[in-house]
Structure 1
């Protein structure tokens, strides 16, 4: 019989850290902490396979699971000496999720389960603290009603605020036992009003309702979005952890907290965290109360008055410090820890590898290698390549003027400017229209995940450094300022107020997640300096990787940026981008609209010196490195005039009439230009276009060589080839032009002629095409479009649904579709090299900067990947990791 329940705690551990696939991250780590002797409240884990089975069975549980869960409850009862449902001294449990990959705040939790109208009185008697008992009961009703019954949690929050107003207090902790008892009665009324049934009193019914809800939260919209954004497979499922409750809300000797063994923002080797006295865990992470600092030094740096845990509970803090060191040595990574102190006794509730900023990830990896905890190769594997994006973009100019209007906590570093929006849907909508927005919330919740991803940055009025907003923002690489208490937010009026300043939706603000400052207007930025830890890690990565990394660039600025980021040449220079320049477009249109070859050559003669100058600048910047230049590729209609003013300009320059031009435009119209007269088809029908471009390339290369600079290595790429004959004809034209230029200039340079493989037929006929090509560059953007029969420009309307339904594991325009497109690339690689073993192979689509796609390229033996300039470091690190994982 398949096992589904695994026990842990008090000397028992049925699993460990190697069992994440079954136990999930939380369950595996609870079992591991128990195994190494840490104080873990006893409990059990229902494995991830049950999550998928639960849905397959129509959200029903098999009887065998009910028997195993009963045994799990018996284990907790044995270890605690309490009975589940006992009216005298009841056992209470928490029910928490725990996926294989950390998904902070995305799934549901139920605490204090096992309370009802009878057991609450037994808890009050047994604990000697009626206030604690009724506080726990009202928390349970509120949480269970939200998570399991699906009732509006806002109604319960409103009732709590009314109760505090009536009592004339501001904090939950100011309410007495009788206040909580009265509020509990009001909560019961709300349940009957909203659910139309009484609140469940049977503790076993409560347990199974919570287990079902936690499994169900795997399919919540926020969880689906988070998985899609972070590449977590939908078929992994979540585990459910049922654990004996320990209470941080049992008075002044009790507390709850969240801590990191190192600073998750900077990577500094210093304990980092927050705690609350007389509170439960959700009070810290939800930002309901402003937490206190864990260490005295952190409190002093912040200038906070509230006493730190190091000062208020020195003995417990000392024990916690020993646990931190033990866990970091055991897991050999920075840990994110949840703990509770119940009447002076420390309990460990969770440990996991902590989410961190890219800056912190670099420092932690480098420091741990220096400390001997990990090797250089492990350090390279520790840093998420995609996270480097946080380091590669501008930060606020320290010399710029700033109108600081508020300060909060520096929850996630980096800076961002944008238009203020007050809800996640608006953030997503306006971002989709190309606007930069800052999401401003009182506090974020998991339902805001899509808006947080769309925003440039996040600002919250409440919450600490370990609040939902802070943790998720750090994981996403979004700047975040949390707990800006001076900010008053009116959602209805769509307005925020700070002192006498009123800021409405659409107004521009800037936030600095490194300092916690909020500024009015847009503040200028400066480019990052990629030295120190970044430079060290990149040097280690470069020692480990096999794949070369080039860039997609066609402007001098992009070329310089890419070289600074370590590009080893250009893998794609799109010549058509040069033609859109305002000073050239008229000549380009003249060429396209000419009635004959003579007219085209006259227009091309005007373009030749400008195109030659373009290539000369690029060759000089990329001195001595290969530069792959794609000859004109897009359909000609993209260059044609549209407005009357544009027609008049072209007609005047061409010495013809507007009417004749319009007739010519009509003749060139295509119904499906993406699959029409473009790519090498232009070179076949209008060879003078490619002849001009080839001449510009070779004249520029010779000029740079004569100037004394390093000789460039031009690689002339013919686009959209489907047959060997096409490449044969155009290669002959290129070779003739090269000979002519070299004779005229009395100097020759080495060059290569190859093709872009972007059609399925080209991939299948790669053996024949290789006879005419020195290299293949896989144009994965168009190869994906032509293989899947999907337009990249229109795919966003439905591909998200396809990914959610598991039709594609990932968006095929983000990561290569390995089963389809990847198979064609593999076929072309094999057949091309069978004909020409030294055939140079690379990819130059947007996939070149995607770590998953880079790993695929490593596996099939390509020579290089080419990425946009800012993704070059990402590709370098991803290539190193792919090589290390292959061994």
Structure 2
């Protein structure tokens, strides 16, 4: 990258009801910076500050620290002067000091993934001036010890790197608490806080070999660089990969004047949501702490109180706290500071109406004055996402198209997860109660450390509180349980974003990391013990609890109906059984795009006949074995056709090589020899004969049907007879017979001839007919190239992107695990091509195949049946390619339906 000219704007100011940017500039200013500018411009009380752009972060990563700081120096100095003018304070001044916060801010919300430094600008002299100015020694020294702790961890690298490391600052504080026999940070005296400051500075000197920096400007530049570096920190990288965010986005840096929630009993800090982030209910809610700074709320060190009286009463009910005790000891903000609550309520209402979406806000009350520190579109569960979108539509805040575009298709998966069986819940033994931080049902074995979340197949990550370093373990666990923290803690916010069941603030839990035990009411649970979490009620349950399939909400049904209004590309399902077919139809599938007939042959009563067919040395012998399979296969098709009454069903003829059906263990080979009254050596010889060096490219698919045409004849007869049998019952079958692995036109012609001749024989026997199609799966690159020739004979194309991806890349899907993770880590590939369609390579084969096929047959029906059929970006590609349908697994049908509708809306708006 060439060095950018100094005229480029890298620093954008905001404050005092003016701003250089606005909410449309998220790519440049990050979500936080763009929204700070927007709020300032519309009159929300935002502490003044400035944003260093994401482009500066990209420059830093490419050009280095020295070059970027040279670009930034003059503009940052002027921006600090602007803050000084607005606040009437001076950065670094010993008598009237300006303190600032330095926060990250990517273009998308990444809660807890990057770093923050508060109270920057303090040193041994400034702290005295701050104490004198405010008349509050405790506040000044509390702010100083917090600053050293945060700066030491974020900038000077003193954070623990593993569960075995000790946070030096926490260790010092815990030692002092034990000595003073106190429990909370708020119980420290002024002298305690002074002692902590000097002990913290000693710890920094011992760990780093350098004194803690006292120059405010040195502190500022150190924090800016640390935020830039946090974009490439381990947890940020993991979060990006988890969500598919590109590494080259970079993060902005937000610098703001500090406002203080820790100035005493008339100050506080909190987080609030304009709607319930778990359920989507239109209820203002949130949590706050008196005499605290913002990090205290999200870190979960102190369990916060509720903002609204209603929320406080709900909390008391869950926590088993009497109303009189609640009102006295755990009052809501609405009760404790009614004027502040009223002002906050007005701002949350204004911001939701302005952004037309649920907002997640952070605020600070400093000595009776309310400041809004941040707003963003709130993270929410899949259920809340659907409800909020549909409610905003009904309220007229958004239109139907916007309601659909608000849906993240993959988050719909959360609504399809099993829930606890109500009958089983009634019998369950509830051992403790926490806050229902993120709904859902989770059953698993207890683990206490995030890096051990893989220890068991199903785990419940059980922590005193979580931190951003726990991200990977949280992602792997089935559920998350914390003893501390509230509904806005790190655990709660991240879990909701993941759609993960979470219970927080379960104060009855005694967690002992050293001995790996969880104690509740004198009963001890150990690592590996089973517990269950009901994230909708906050109940913590002993042992396993049975689950049932979920019932879908009214809003979900309304959303699905809305997709049909805009989507022009249908969604089918991949289903091999009537059960799967019925499930998919209930989710709105418009047919079956792939039924794999080989799966039907592996059942015990069928595999024997299949093996007899394979071992037969003559056509007559093979036909006799296939005669046994015919009624079984016909019965299978009848069940599927009945489940899909009136809808098309694409059936793929036998695809895998025959060696997959024969036994490879000596005991089963001997058993087969005895059953068939042949020698063991004959079985062994046949198995050896069927062995292939590269089965994926061997004797399979249409090659099998062309060398053993009796297989194609039997399967065709089973399909047509099944359809005719059901016709007599008034059930309409629409079979589409698909020939797999075609690479040449003649391969397809040979199979099509067998299929049509067999179908005509069955029609004569039944003296009746049905309509059917014969098409092919395009999964070999040559087929895409020869699509115009193949389309002369084929009624439809279905792109099998699993094999097409393997053959286009030359990757074996079964063996790619050895190198794909490394490729993704090094950036050789940006995504796994077996999960997300490779639009640049494989996608071009698909476009070419579609265009060439339709050049011969303009009305050629085209679809996709690979795993990509349920992946949203791949669905959009299919729509833009002009496909008639996509096909995916039953439980991804709703996801594909929304993605299809969104693709149509986006295409229409271009």
Instruction: Report the TM range for the smaller structure's normalisation.
Output: over 0.9
2:31 to 25, 28, 31: 25
User: Would you say 1:174 and 2:187 are equivalent positions?
Assistant: yes
1:533 to 527, 533, 555: 555
- Asked if 1 retains the 8 angstrom alpha-carbon contact of 2:360 and 2:376, the reply is yes
Q: CA deviation at 1:259?
A: 0.3
- Asked if 1 retains the 8 angstrom alpha-carbon contact of 2:315 and 2:435, the reply is no
1:409 to 417, 420, 435: 435
Q: What residue number does 1:83 align with?
A: 90
Q: What residue number does 1:262 align with?
A: 275
Q: CA deviation at 1:662?
A: 0.9
Closer, same or farther in 2 for the Cα pair 1:12/1:801, shift >3 Å?
farther
Q: What residue number does 1:348 align with?
A: 372
1:772-820: per-residue Cα shift (whole Å, max 9, x none)? 2111111111111111112223333433443344433322111111101
Q: What residue number does 2:519 align with?
A: 497
Q: What residue number does 2:899 align with?
A: 878
| Separation in 1, partners of 2:529, 2:408 | 34
Equivalent residue runs for 1:186-197 within 5 Å: 186-197=199-210
Report which stretch shifted further, 336-345 or 60-69: 60-69
1:489-509: per-residue Cα shift (whole Å, max 9, x none)? 222333222223322222221
Q: What residue number does 2:445 align with?
A: 419
- Partner secondary structure for residue 18 of structure 1: coil
- Partner secondary structure for residue 454 of structure 2: helix
Q: What residue number does 1:316 align with?
A: 340
- Partner secondary structure for residue 338 of structure 1: strand
User: Would you say 1:827 and 2:848 are equivalent positions?
Assistant: yes
Equivalent residue runs for 1:23-102 within 5 Å: 23-60=29-66, 61-102=68-109
Equivalent residue runs for 1:750-769 within 5 Å: 750-769=771-790
Aligned-CA RMSD value: 1.3
User: Would you say 1:739 and 2:745 are equivalent positions?
Assistant: no
Q: CA deviation at 1:485?
A: 1.4
| Separation in 1, partners of 2:84, 2:180 | 39
1:622-660: per-residue Cα shift (whole Å, max 9, x none)? 001000001111122222212233112221232212221
Report which stretch shifted further, 318-327 or 220-229: 220-229
- Partner secondary structure for residue 428 of structure 1: coil
| Separation in 2, partners of 1:645, 1:483 | 56
2:386 to 335, 358, 362: 362
Equivalent residue runs for 1:172-571 within 5 Å: 172-303=185-316, 305=326, 306-400=330-424, 401-428=427-454, 430=456, 435-571=457-593
Q: CA deviation at 1:88?
A: 1.3
- Partner secondary structure for residue 228 of structure 1: helix
| Separation in 1, partners of 2:626, 2:540 | 53
1:176-213: per-residue Cα shift (whole Å, max 9, x none)? 11100001111111111111111111111111111111
Q: What residue number does 1:802 align with?
A: 823
| Separation in 2, partners of 1:21, 1:452 | 28
- Asked if 2 retains the 8 angstrom alpha-carbon contact of 1:335 and 1:353, the reply is yes
- Partner secondary structure for residue 495 of structure 2: helix
- Partner secondary structure for residue 17 of structure 1: coil
- Partner secondary structure for residue 583 of structure 1: helix
- Asked if 2 retains the 8 angstrom alpha-carbon contact of 1:253 and 1:344, the reply is yes
Q: CA deviation at 1:57?
A: 1.3
| Separation in 2, partners of 1:63, 1:135 | 34
| Separation in 2, partners of 1:121, 1:594 | 95
Q: CA deviation at 1:442?
A: 1.7
1:528-580: per-residue Cα shift (whole Å, max 9, x none)? 22241111111111111111010000111111111111111000101111111
1:681-721: per-residue Cα shift (whole Å, max 9, x none)? 11121111111111111111111111222x21000111111
Q: What residue number does 1:112 align with?
A: 119
| Separation in 2, partners of 1:798, 1:124 | 59
- Partner secondary structure for residue 462 of structure 2: strand
Q: What residue number does 2:128 align with?
A: 121
2:17 to 11, 19, 32: 11
Q: What residue number does 2:158 align with?
A: 151
- Asked if 2 retains the 8 angstrom alpha-carbon contact of 1:234 and 1:804, the reply is no
Equivalent residue runs for 1:856-867 within 5 Å: 856-867=877-888
Q: What residue number does 1:816 align with?
A: 837
- Asked if 1 retains the 8 angstrom alpha-carbon contact of 2:144 and 2:197, the reply is yes
Q: CA deviation at 1:595?
A: 2.6
| Separation in 2, partners of 1:429, 1:843 | 37
| Separation in 1, partners of 2:798, 2:534 | 41
1:575-627: per-residue Cα shift (whole Å, max 9, x none)? 11111112211222222233332332222111111011000100011001000
| Separation in 2, partners of 1:503, 1:273 | 32
1:108-145: per-residue Cα shift (whole Å, max 9, x none)? 11111111111111111111111111111111111111
- Asked if 2 retains the 8 angstrom alpha-carbon contact of 1:590 and 1:653, the reply is no
- Partner secondary structure for residue 584 of structure 1: helix
- Asked if 2 retains the 8 angstrom alpha-carbon contact of 1:776 and 1:840, the reply is yes
Q: What residue number does 2:3 align with?
A: none
- Partner secondary structure for residue 25 of structure 2: helix
Q: CA deviation at 1:462?
A: 1.3
Q: CA deviation at 1:423?
A: 2.1
1:366-413: per-residue Cα shift (whole Å, max 9, x none)? 111111111122111112111111111211111112111111110000
- Partner secondary structure for residue 756 of structure 2: helix
Q: TM-score, normalised by structure 2?
A: 0.95
| Separation in 1, partners of 2:465, 2:742 | 54
- Partner secondary structure for residue 510 of structure 2: strand
Report which stretch shifted further, 62-71 or 843-852: 62-71
Closer, same or farther in 2 for the Cα pair 1:792/1:429, shift >3 Å?
farther
| Separation in 2, partners of 1:787, 1:175 | 66
User: Would you say 1:684 and 2:706 are equivalent positions?
Assistant: yes
| Separation in 2, partners of 1:472, 1:796 | 28
Q: TM-score, normalised by structure 1?
A: 0.98
1:6-57: per-residue Cα shift (whole Å, max 9, x none)? 0001132000011111001000000000000110001000001111110101
- Asked if 1 retains the 8 angstrom alpha-carbon contact of 2:409 and 2:899, the reply is yes
- Asked if 2 retains the 8 angstrom alpha-carbon contact of 1:549 and 1:876, the reply is yes
Closer, same or farther in 2 for the Cα pair 1:428/1:222, shift >3 Å?
farther
- Partner secondary structure for residue 838 of structure 1: coil
| Separation in 1, partners of 2:463, 2:807 | 43
Closer, same or farther in 2 for the Cα pair 1:541/1:345, shift >3 Å?
same
- Asked if 1 retains the 8 angstrom alpha-carbon contact of 2:17 and 2:44, the reply is no
| Separation in 2, partners of 1:619, 1:152 | 61
- Partner secondary structure for residue 255 of structure 2: strand
| Separation in 1, partners of 2:512, 2:473 | 18
| Separation in 1, partners of 2:96, 2:738 | 78
Q: CA deviation at 1:62?
A: 4.2
- Partner secondary structure for residue 219 of structure 1: coil
| Separation in 1, partners of 2:10, 2:266 | 37
Q: What residue number does 2:634 align with?
A: 612
